[in-house]
């Protein structure tokens, strides 16, 4: 299982690399990596396991964050309000997106960043994505709300981008033209 010690922190070079495409069929190691990424997210929302292993809660986790420079990430969102989402995305792409943008009113965090970095992170409100599942089957999804934001945050990790790269340095809380904030419960 992935523990906090397995998650590399900002400053680690892997977080600033473009991760490599994955080929199919997956090796046993890559399949285990997929299971471990989604497993971390599920564990991080289990009060007993999270307390026992001191896991920070997460709704997304990308392979580069555990020092595997591969185009794989997992998303596990169960909160009410939005549609639950739980999947592993391999070689993911955004195929289209809304013109309209959004941002988390509370800003974003990151399991690889041990500090608060305040500010609005502009994201597309709606995206259509395609990716492969661990069996090599291609799938498409239309995402909005928190799922759309999380997908974009994780895809950034595959491209060596950190959430705070998007924050306006001079005015972190400057209104983003044409953007509607997403309030998190
Ligand atoms: O990639 C990561 O570091 C996981 C982040 C993903 C994320 C953070 C903020 C906004 C979008 C995606 C963790 O999930 S941070 C913890 C968290 C938990 C619930 C909701 C938002 C952030
Ligand atoms: Ni992150």
The CATH fold assigned to 4-182 is Peptide Deformylase (3.90.45)
Q: Atom of ligand 1 at shortest distance to CA of 112? A: 3
Q: Percent of the chain having pLDDT more than 70?
A: 98
Per-domain boundaries in the chain: 4-182
Q: Per residue in 53-110, pLDDT tens?
A: 999 999 999 999 999 999 999 999 997 667 899 999 999 999 999 999 999 999 999 9
Closest ligand (CA of 78): 1
For the entire predicted model, the pTM comes to 0.97
Q: Per residue in 154-183, pLDDT tens?
A: 999 999 999 999 999 999 999 998 899 997
- Contacts with 124 (C-beta within 8 Å, 6 or more apart), sequence order: 94, 97, 98, 100, 101, 102, 148, 152
Q: Atom of ligand 1 at shortest distance to CA of 121? A: 10
Radius of gyration over every alpha carbon of the chain, rounded to an integer in angstroms: 16
């Amino acid at each position: 299982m992935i523990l906090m010690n397995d998650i590399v922190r900002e400053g680690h070079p892997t977080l600033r690399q473009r991760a490599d495409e994955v080929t199919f069929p997956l090796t046993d190691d890559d399949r285990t990596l997929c299971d471990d990424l989604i497993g971390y997210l599920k564990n991080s929302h289990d009060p007993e396991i999270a307390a026992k292993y001191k896991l920070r809660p997460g709704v997304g986790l990308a392979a580069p964050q555990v020092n595997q420079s591969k185009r794989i990430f997992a998303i596990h969102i169960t909160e009410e309000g939005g549609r639950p989402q739980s999947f592993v995305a391999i070689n993911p792409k955004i195929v289209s997106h809304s013109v309209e943008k959004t941002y988390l009113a509370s800003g974003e965090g990151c399991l690889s960043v041990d500090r608060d970095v305040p500010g609005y992170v502009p994201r597309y409100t709606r995206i259509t994505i395609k990716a492969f599942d661990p069996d090599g089957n291609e799938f498409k999804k239309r995402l909005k709300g928190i799922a759309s934001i999380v997908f974009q945050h994780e895809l950034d990790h595959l491209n060596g981008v950190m959430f705070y790269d998007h924050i306006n340095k001079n005015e972190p809380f400057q209104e983003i033209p044409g953007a509607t904030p997403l309030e998190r419960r």
